[in-house]
Amino acid sequence: MELRCSLQTYEWGKIGENSETALLAQANNPGLQIQDLTPYAELWMGTHPNGPSQLASTGENLHDWIQQNPQVLGEPVRQQFGVQLPYLFKVLSVNKALSIQVHPSKSQAEELHRRLPDIYKDPNHKPEMALALSPFEALCGFRPLDQIKHFLDTIPELRCCVGQENVESLLSCSEDSQQEVLGQCFQSLMTRSDDVITTALTSLLNRISSLDESSRGMQLADLVEKLHSQFPGDVGVFGPYLFNHITLQPGESLYLAANEPHAYLSGDCVECMACSDNTVRAGLTPKLKDVPTLCSLLSYICEPASCKLFVGTDEDEFTTIFRPPVPDFAVVKINVPEGRTYTMTPRPSASIGIVTQGCATSPNLPLHRGSVFFLPADDTIQFTVTSTESLLVFQAMANV
């Protein structure tokens, strides 16, 4: 069953036809006119009320159709989540950094919703997974502690904003206390006055602009300058010195569990998440910053960038499944070469698929780049690839 999907034009999106999101949306809905100066950020596939998908054949809202046909979800989904899709599926095209943020756990989300319902509007957690369609750049998780110590030692402006006493405590702390002391350092930085941050960043930008190429690389000058050009005077510009800087290659995946600090910086990806809007922001954003909540949620676990990659499991020669440790969602990547016929594996959950490359014939539904389809639980599609390039499909479902 083919779907028409919602296109979101947030200001951080890629502009016009440079946006993969816009190009896929136009292929999904040929009547769409791409505007040259408009930022196209996200294509939403699912039942979220802020951007629900519609049945292409009738225009009916997918959420309403599921309410009338609950059996399509699959019994395991209905038992665990009721009559609703527990996930939201997206394509993102990032031109400008998204905020440094975390998402609360289920119990934390329930408490935040109880205390601050105007800010945290639902009681659900929001784990996320991103699968790169192009080189995809992000900040994710705290760097190994020796790297953070190195930057505190070599970036005087960072050291000034964290505070000399906090820096000395971190440099000398035992392994048992490092998370607590790192938390104190981070909170000190994030609560520093705007005047102090602005002065420190001005000094930092002036200093790194005159460094030789080798020294610029060691002090992450290009990234810091880019973030400062997007968010001048924002404390989040110091983020690269504290968080892992990762560039996913196409097909690689990143899983973001609760309380994992992160910020998407650039590139295109497929993203799947639990159905929630709960985001706690603290930097690289003009939106509301809730620094006390963010600092209290973080676990301050330090790990290398390699630990952040999420590796899927091959089901057969054409299919890889990415199953995070949550029941809300999993993602399947299907890559079938020219001329081959393939039958998709029936799943116990209703699923949504998007074709990002190639085309194929099918008795059920012709598939082409931009096709988005809804597949009831335990159903399948058999198709034959007709394009000279392989057919690439990403399929979201509940992880039941």
168: CB partners within 8 A, 6+ apart: none
Query: What angle (nearest 5°) sits at the alpha carbon of residue 114, between those of residues 113 and 115?
Result: 95
113 annotated ligand binder: no
**Cα 354 from chain centroid (whole Å):** 17
Contact 170, 180 (CB under 8 A): no
Paired tokens of 26: 């136009």
Paired tokens of 359: 């085309």
Backbone angles phi, psi at 98, to 5 degrees: -85, 165
Q: Known catalytic residues?
A: 281
Place of tokens 């947030």: 10
125 annotated ligand binder: no
Contact 73, 83 (CB under 8 A): yes
Give the type of residue at 276: S
Length of the chain measured in residues: 400
Place of tokens 């399509």: 72
Which whole-number Å values give the CA distances from 273 to 48, 127, 164, 322, 394, in the listed order?
Answer: 11, 6, 40, 13, 14
Give the type of residue at 145: L
HSE-CB for 189 with a 13 A CA cutoff:
28
262 annotated ligand binder: yes
Rg (CA), the chain: 22
Task: Please state the residue numbers annotated as binding site for Zn(2+).
Answer: 101, 103, 128, 262
Task: Please state the residue numbers annotated as binding site.
Answer: 101, 103, 128, 262
